[in-house]
Amino acid sequence: MGWLSGFQAKRSGDIAKARLKLLLVSDKAGCSPEMIRMIKNDMIFVISKYMEIEKDKVQIHMDTPGGLEGADRPPTMLCANIPIRSIPNKGLY
């Protein structure tokens, strides 16, 4: 029953770990959770001008690539998942 595994509730320890990671990454990048919410709202506003998106399902988070240490480590990334409903042809191109 491997296909049902996606419906299992997350353990509170996993949720706490994810929240702590978000706080550590946002602190390192100097970006508060409130700033992330503001960025999310701005992205929704701008992208909605060009396509229809599922605004309530937009996810924005900061991440650092794991396993890489030292001077060659990539910078912190802002990651966005934006579900698109449709892209209307408005004759822009």
Residue 93 has pLDDT above 60, yes or no: no
Residue 62 has pLDDT above 70, yes or no: yes
By the 10 Å C-beta count (0-12 exposed, 13-18 middle, 19+ buried), 43 is classed as middle
Answer whether residue 49 is part of any domain. Answer: yes
Answer whether residue 21 is part of any domain. Answer: no
Alpha helices in 30-59 (DSSP H): 33-47
Which pTM does this prediction carry? 0.58
Residue 18 has pLDDT above 50, yes or no: yes
Answer whether residue 1 is part of any domain. Answer: no
Query: What's the structural domain count of the chain?
Result: 1
CA pair distance 57, 1, nearest whole angstrom: 27
- Which residues constitute the domain of residue 53? 32-66+75-93
Residues 26-60 have pLDDT tens digits of 666 667 788 888 989 999 999 999 899 999 999 98
State the pLDDT at residue 43.
94
User: What is the chain's mean pLDDT, rounded?
Assistant: 77
Answer whether residue 84 is part of any domain. Answer: yes
